[in-house]
A and B are shown apart, each in its own frame.
Chain A
Amino acid sequence: MSDCVAKTITDKEFFYGHKACAGCGGSIATRLVMKVLGERTFTVVPAGCMSAVGFMYPQLCFANNALISTFAGTASMMSGIAAGAKALGLQDFHVVGIAGDGGTADIGLQALSGAIDRRDRVIYICYDNEAYMNTGIQKSSLTPFGARTTTSPAGKRIRGSQTQKKNMFEIVAAHGIDYAATASVGYIHDLLHKVNKAKSVDGTSYIHVFAPCPTGWGTSSDSAIDIGKEVVDCGLWYLAEWEDGEFILNRNPKEFASVRDYLSSQGRFRHLLDGDVEQIIQERDRKWAAIRRSWRIEARELSER
C-alpha cells in the first residue's frame, strides 16, 4: 500500500459540513487523519469539540461509520468495535478514536491505558488544543504553564496555568505501546506519514497532534498552521516517535526560533512576565537536553518532497 502523502492525498472528504470555528486545528487534524484512513474506518469521537460540531442530528458530518462515545470511553468503545469486528470476521478496516486533550489526558486516560494494555488494534489520535475548548476554554492537564484559561485566569497572584503539560507521549510509551508519535498540524507531511504508519501497526497506536485553537488561544483564524510550525521550531513541542522500544526524534533544530515570539503572538500568554518566559525556556532546555541525551536522533525532511 503506497503512502498517502500531501501530493497524492484524496480529494474525498470524510469530515465535511461541520460547524467548527474558523481556523480550528482540531478539525484540520480530523480531516487529514480521515483522508489517510479512508472509508473503511470506524471513527469514535467522544463528547468534545469534534462531536459537538460534527454530530448534531440530522447534520451528521462523517462520510464513514462514526459514533460519539462517552467522554471517558473513547478507547473502550474503540476496543469494543475492534473485538466485535474480529468476532464477526470483518476484514480490511481501521478503528480510530479522535479525542481532545481533556478527553485523552484527563477523563479518558484510564480507558486508553486499558486499550494499550490489551494491545487492541486501534489508532488513537489526540488533537491537543491545550484546554477544554468545547465547554469554554477550561484548563486541562495538557494546558501549558502560564496559559490563561477560563479556570486558570491571569491575575496578580496567579498568572495562568501553574502546571506543566502532562507528558502523554511518554506515558503511552511506558505502556510498551506498539507505536506512538507526536505530530503537529503545522507539519502536515509528517502527520500523514505517521498516520500511514499507524495504519499498518498490528496493535495499538497513538498519535498526539498539536492542534491550535484560535478561539481559545486568542489568535487569528488563519494562524493554526503557522502556530503549529512555530511551536515545533521554538522547541515547545517536538516531533518524535516511539517504535520497537525506542524513542526517535524526527526533527532536531540546530537553533530554536524565539519562544518569546511564539508566546507573545497568542492572547493566552500575553500577561506573562519576563521571569515566566525565562522559566518556560529553562523547562524547554531541560527537556531537550534529556531528549538529546537518550533518544535516537533521526531527523528527516519534513516538508513535501
Chain B
Amino acid sequence: MPVEKAFVSGNEAVALGVRLARPHVISAYPITPQTTVVERLSEMVEDGSLKAEFMYVESEHSALSACMGASSIGARTFTATSSQGLLYMAECLHYASGGRFPIVMMNANRSLALPWSIYGDQRDSLSLLDCGWIQVYVEDAQESLDMVLQSYAIAENGKVLTPVMQNLDGFALTHTYETVEVPTSEQADAFLPPFETPYKLDLDKPKNMAFSTGPADNMEFKYQQHKAVLDAVKVISEVDESFYIHFGRRYGGMTEAYRCDDAEMVMVTLGSITGTCRAVVDELRVEGWKAGLLKIRFMRPFPEKEIMDLSTHVRAIGVIDKDISFGYEGTIFTNVNSALSKARTGVYALDFIAGLGGRDISRQDIRKMFGHLKDGLQGIELNRVRFINIGVAI
C-alpha cells in the first residue's frame, strides 16, 4: 500500500495525529501560535472526518477544566495552548495530574510577558516542570504527528495515568512546513486501542473522585503520582518500540543520541534547535572535532540515566537553554547538572542561554558554544552560564 504523504506545518501535523487518535472531546481557546491546530481540528469536525465534541470555551482554564470533566467519565480528550494560556491554566495542570486524568495537550512553546512576545522560547513549559505532567519536546513535523499517538498510549497506560504535554517550538516548528507520512486510521487504531479504565465516574458504579485529603493520606497520593511518572520511563520506551513495529519509525524514547559514541564534547538540546545542532555536529566532525548531540525528548520523567551514562565517556557537556530561571541558570542545565553530580564523573559543563523571545540561534552560535566547551577543557576560566548572541555588554 502506498504511504500517504502530506505537506503540512507542525501544528497541522499535530491535528492529523489528533484525528487518528479519535478523541471524544476537544476543547480549546485560541492563542498564537497554537491557533492553526484547533482551526484544522474544527474543520475536521465540520467535514465529518473527525467525530468529536468540539467545545468553544471562554478561557484556557476552562479548556483544561472541561477536559478533566470529560476525562473523569472515561472520554479521550485533547486541548492545545501556548505561553500565557498555559500559565492561565496552571491551576488545572496540577489538578489534572493529581486527578490522574490522561489528557493529551499540545503546547506551542512561546515566550512569556512582560515584555509581550509571541515568539518562541521554552520558558512557558519549563516554568511548569513541577506540575506533574509528562513533558515531551518534539523536533519536526513527523515527530509532532507521531508523538500525539504515542502520547495517548503513554498517558492512558494503566501504570501511568498521567497527562502528557507535547511541546512544539512556536513558529520554528508550529508554522514550518514539511512532508510527513500520514498513517492510515486502521494502522492508528491497531496501535492505539480505545481508552478503557475502571477509574472513572460510572452510572452503574457511582464514585466520588477529585476529593480532599488530610495530612494522614495526602503524601501517599503524591508518592503514587511520583511513582507513576517514574514508571513512565519504561512505558515510554515500550510505546516507542510498539510504534516502530506498527509504523517503522522510532525516536529513541527518553533521548536521542547523535554521534555520541566516541564524542568528547556533547551539546544537549530540546526541541527544534536539534536540527541545526545536528548540522553543526556534522560540520565539526568533518573538521576533526569529536562533537556529538544529545536530544532530550522528555523533561519529565527526566532522562537521568542517559545523562549519567553519557558522562562516563565524554569530557564536556553543553546545554542549550531557551529559558532562564532568573537569578540562577537555565532550567535544563539545573536538571542535567543534578544528574551529572550523581554520576560523579567530573564532566565539564556549560550552560548556553539562547533564543529567548524568538531570537535566532544560528549555526555560528552553536559553533561558538562548542568553541567555549573546547576553551573550558583547555583550562580557560569561563562563566558557567553564558548568554549567546546578546546585544548588551556582560
Contact = CB atoms under 8 A, between A and B. Distances in A.
B249 to A, nearest CB: 30
Contact of A57 (B53, B92, B213): B213
Given A113-B58, A118-B55, A69 B210 contact: yes
B275 interface: no
Interface in A67-112: 67-70, 72-73, 75-88, 90, 93, 110-111
A245 interface: no
A76 B57 CA distance: 8
A78 B212 contact: no
Interface string B36-77: 000000000000000111011111011101111111111101
A57 B209 CA distance: 9
Residue among A78, A80, A85, A113 with the highest chain B CB neighbour number at 10 A: A80
A217 interface: no
A141 interface: no
Contact of A114 (B59, B71, B95): B59
A300 B25 CA distance: 43
B65 A60 contact: no
Interface stretch (B198-206, B262-270, B357-365): B198-206
Interface stretch (A48-56, A165-173, A191-199, A277-285): A48-56
Contacts of B203: 40, 65, 90, 93
B70 A81 contact: yes
Interface residues of B, number: 42
B73 A88 contact: yes
B62 A110 contact: yes
**Could you say which of A40, A44, A111 has the most chain B C-beta atoms within 10 Å of its C-beta?**
A111
A86 B70 CA distance: 10
A78 B67 CA distance: 10
A42 interface: yes
A57 B61 contact: no
Nearest to A54: B208
B347 to A, nearest CB: 43
Interface in B207-227: 207-214, 217
Among B63, B68, B73, B202, the most chain A Cβ lie within 10 Å of the Cβ of B73
B198 to A, nearest CB: 14
A85 B70 CA distance: 7
A62 B208 CA distance: 7
Interface centre among A42, A44, A68, A70 (most CB of B within 10 A): A70
Given A76-B57, A110-B59, A113-B58, A85 B206 contact: no
Contact of B65 (A51, A57, A58, A76): A76
Contact of A70 (B65, B201, B214): B65
B24 interface: yes
B72 to A, nearest CB: 6
Nearest to A111: B62
A70 B212 CA distance: 12
B92 A73 contact: yes
A87 B92 contact: no
Contacts of A65: 73, 201-203, 206-208
**Which secondary structure dominates chain B's binding surface?**
mixed
A17 to B, nearest CB: 12
Interface residues of A, number: 45
Given A39-B206, A55-B208, A70-B65, A114 B57 contact: yes
A80 B206 contact: no
Contacts of B61: 70, 72-73, 76, 110-111
B81 interface: no
A76 B66 contact: yes
Given A67-B208, A79-B55, A56 B213 contact: yes
Most buried by B among A79, A113, A118: A79
A20 interface: no
Name the residue among A56, A76, A90 with the largest chain B CB count within 10 angstroms.
Answer: A76
A73 B91 CA distance: 10
Given A84-B53, A84-B74, A55 B211 contact: yes
B27 interface: yes
Contact of B73 (A52, A60, A62, A85): A85
B65 A73 contact: yes
A80 B217 contact: no
B211 A79 contact: no
Interface string A31-42: 000000001101
Contact of B69 (A39, A77, A113): A77
Nearest to A91: B203
Nearest to A78: B69
B208 A110 contact: no
B202 A83 contact: no
Contacts of A113: 58
B176 to A, nearest CB: 32
Contacts of B51: 87
6 contacts: A56-B214, A57-B212, A65-B201, A76-B57, A87-B51, A114-B59
4 tightest A-B CB contacts, nearest first: A80-B69, A84-B70, A84-B75, A80-B66
Interface of B: 24-25, 27, 51-53, 55-59, 61-63, 65-75, 77, 91-92, 95, 201-203, 206-214, 217
Given A80-B25, A84-B71, A114-B57, 20 more contacts: A39-B206, A56-B213, A57-B214, A65-B207, A70-B61, A72-B61, A77-B66, A77-B72, A79-B69, A80-B27, A80-B66, A80-B77, A81-B70, A84-B75, A84-B77, A88-B74, A90-B73, A93-B203, A110-B58, A117-B56
